Amino acid sequence: MKKENCIFCKIANGEIPSQTLYEDKHFRIILDLGPATRGHALVLPKEHAENLFELSEAAAGEAFILAKKTAAKIKEKLGCDGLNLVQNNGETAGQTVPHFHIHIIPRYKDDGQNINWVPGRPSQEELEAVRRQITE
């Protein structure tokens, strides 16, 4: 079901024009209007899910399979040096539109983008405590 005031629902369902790379019954893949790099694309489900946790397992699997196929085609056709697949959940994690989507970001040498983090240095005890908290 689509959400009436969701911009990505409107784009995914063809109510707002887009530069579409792929479309099927459940998904639309478009070029991002504010790309990080040349060829930056978004995988959008046509059915509304605010984030990964609201998406069905079947739809999540299908979304990542489509992202993989599209990433391979972008790499082949645009000759990028690498790719980032980014999927944010929640405002703190960088999600700016509350509709599940996957960014496919082609990377080029010296493209000026920085999608990295500073690695932490937890002790083995800290890692063990976190592992227990998650698994118990």
- The tokens for 15 are 């109510």
Pick from 35, 52, 34: nearest CA to 98: 52
- Residue 48 appears among annotated catalytic residues: no
DSSP label at 133?
H
Residue 63 phi, psi dihedral angles, 5° rounding: -60, -45
Q: Hey, is 28 helix, strand or coil?
A: strand
Active-site pick, 48, 99, 101, 103: 101
Give Cα separations from 113 to 17, 29, 42 (angstroms): 27, 22, 17
- The answer to whether residues 86 and 103 touch, using CB atoms and an 8 Å cutoff, is yes
Residues labelled catalytic: 101
